[in-house]
Structure 1
Amino acid sequence: MKLILSRKGFDSSAGGCPNPVFPDGSCLALPIPDDQSPIRYSQVRRHGESIGSLVSQLTGQQAFSRRGAHLDPDVIESAYPRLPGWRPVLGQHSSAQAHLANHDIGPGDLFLFFALFRPVERYRRRWRFVPGSRPFHAVWGWLQVADVWPLGDASPAPDWARYHPHLHGERSAQNSLYVSGDRLQIPGLRGDLPAAGAVGALSDQHRLTAPGAAKVTDWRLPAGFMPQPGKSPLSYHHNPERWRLEDSGEYCRLKCAARGQEFVLDLEQYPGVSEWLLTPGLLS
């Protein structure tokens, strides 16, 4: 089983701002802009309401709600109208898909989605980022792969998937969909969890950026992530100078790559990370 730390959501380059953390602790990873997508921000729902005005207010661009939204990964059923048979899904193409293919990502492997977040508040009947608050990286969702569908002419997708942005516009030849199963399957997992979903509320255990860090890419991870001799480290992070074990031995620090979407780790080589995935509340 492989773990993929997958960067998905708004940031300074895609969307232009962090994703919101609401006063109740819930969060929303905003779909990045995509002019080729048939989905508008005004059509995406959160708790039954359009996110169009939210996105316009946080970006400061009134017309943003009419732009195309790259609803991907798509793991929240209520976010958009569905046809029968819908399953949570992630699309990938180009160099990021090549990276996943090179690591043989397939059934049973687990995507753990992270994004850049910042607290928001209501002020004069509008949403704004809390003045003085700082952005941070945090885990917001997951998808365990059941099927991988290459999106070539010879491999048509079912009707329920036709809305997906990766089936519209010009995508690379390596365009693919990662489709989830029904229930999450991790050795040692207690309880019944869906194979894909979003966290209900962010807590310290979802946070990747170290407390008090000057840069959002200064991560604090369980020590199980620390590279070991003879084992492949988290992809894109082979340089030993990126890593440092804290004195307590419980955590390690990582200077996370500022670019790159998919960071892959073989959990057979790093069983301590598998134990971390079983932390109550991490995937719920």
Structure 2
Amino acid sequence: MRRLILSRKGFDAGYGGMPSPILPDGRLLPLPIPGRHDAFTLADAVGAGEDHARLLAELSRGRITLATQVHLDPDLARPPGRRLPGWRPALGQAGGAQSHLRTQGVGAGDVFLFFGWFREVENGPCGWRFVPRAPDLHVLFGWLEVGAVLPVVLRREACLARYPWIADHPHVANPEHYASPSNTLYVARARSRLAPRRAGGGVFPRYRPELRLTAEGESRSIWTLPSWFHPAPGRAALSYHGRPSRWRITGAGCRLHSVPKGQEFVMDVGGCESEAETWLRNLVAGAC
């Protein structure tokens, strides 16, 4: 691994209009953004049980249901019955965000960590609701170790011949809509380097303190990170976060005032590869 990418995904204020839930038993329920051009629904992403139907309807006051079409991307843990043979976790990207990943040199061997907006929920006498005064948090919910980078528009037939199971990934299944030449698929390794006997990507099923980016008592964009994230002399900062005033060393590591917009934040881990890999291994090990 040379690069670590913190990738913002899922419901937000503009797409979905509410946080993804942290359930009372600690389960994380990351909600993919609505996507009217895509074939998947929230039932495909979270399961079609009655509890999830009521949960979504009550939290959203009827705006969101299991039938809501969603952009299932990153595709990290879709139900087995909705997978083509050979399926692996994958992430599609296009436009400016893909241009940034390409400029930063992201490729095979690098690791994505996906984060989103989460908040605790509870099931009370009046139904499901977000816990009053519970903090809004940025939380890591999954990872992907890049095994291959596929130019799925420029070399569509060759990509499908080598990886036929990508045919129903949103960035491949609807070529009329996802037609940009920059449209790219990041396919996970068949086997993880970070957790032997696992696939090269997946979800963190339950909330754990080490998955929380948001600093205690702060707004969700103020993060606590391991000390090796802090830009050292001669080392580039996390992309889009080069301004020194965004960073501060703390006793627990470092604090970052993250930017309010943007999807893909890339860090070159040169000089701190060992620390980065140990941190990632511990995160992924906790998902087992």
User: TM-score w.r.t. structure 1 length?
Assistant: 0.89
Please name the residue that 2:121 is paired with.
120
**1:179 equivalenced with 2:187 (yes/no):** yes
Query: Any idea what the Cα deviations from partners look like across 1:23-58, whole Å, max 9, x if unmatched?
Result: 111101101011111112234343x63755433332
Which of these residues, 212, 234, 254, is aligned with residue 230 of structure 1? 234
Q: CA deviation at 1:20?
A: 0.5
**How far is 1:264 from its partner?**
0.6
Please state if 1:162 is matched with 2:167: yes
Change (3 A) 1:125 1:81: farther
Aligned length in residues: 277
Q: Distance in 2 between matches of 1:38 and 1:10?
A: 18
Gaps of 5+ in 2: none
State the Cα deviation string for residues 127-148 of structure 1 (Å, max 9, x = none). Answer: 3211221110111110001111
Is 1:209 the counterpart of 2:214? The answer is yes
**2:225 & 2:56 partners in 1: Cα distance?**
30
Alignment map for 1:148-159 (pairs within 5 Å): 148-152=149-153, 154-156=155-157, 157=160, 158-159=163-164
SS at 1:145's partner residue?
strand
- The Cα shift of 1:62 comes to 4.4
The residue number in structure 2 matching 1:139 is 140
Conserved in 1, the CA contact under 8 Å of 2:42 and 2:67?
A: yes
More helix by share: 2
1:136/1:209 contact within 8 Å kept: yes
Partner of 1:198: 203
Task: Tell me how far 1:4 sits from its aligned partner.
Answer: 0.4
The answer to whether the aligner puts 1:273 opposite 2:276 as a matched pair is yes
Distance in 2, Cα, partners of 1:45 & 1:125: 23
Q: In the alignment, is the contact (CA less than 8 A) between 1:22 and 1:121 conserved in 2?
A: yes
Rate the CA distance shift 1:58–1:173 in 2: closer, same or farther, 3 A.
Answer: farther
CA contact (8 A) 2:31 2:42 kept: no
Contact 1:5–1:114 (8 Å) recurs in 2: yes
Q: Do the aligned residues in 1 keep the contact of 2:116 with 2:138 (CA within 8 Å)?
A: yes
Pair 1:63–1:258, CA change in 2 (3 A): closer
Conserved in 2, the CA contact under 8 Å of 1:142 and 1:283? no
What's the offset of the Cα at 1:160? 2.3
Say whether the 8 Å CA contact 1:267–1:274 is kept in structure 2: no
CA–CA distance in 2 between the matches of 1:273 and 1:266?
A: 10
Structure 1: stretches of 5+ with no match in the other structure: none
Shift of 1:63: 5.6
2:59–2:128: 8 Å Cα contact kept in structure 1? yes
Report the AA paired with residue 256 of structure 1.
S
Query: What is the Cα deviation at residue 105 of structure 1?
Result: 1.1
Structure 2 length normalisation: TM-score? 0.88
RMSD of the alignment, in Å?
A: 2.1
Listed one character per residue, the Cα deviations across residues 180-232 of structure 1 (whole Å, up to 9, x for unaligned) are 1122214xx7x54431111121111111000111x110001111101011111
Aligned to 1:83: 84
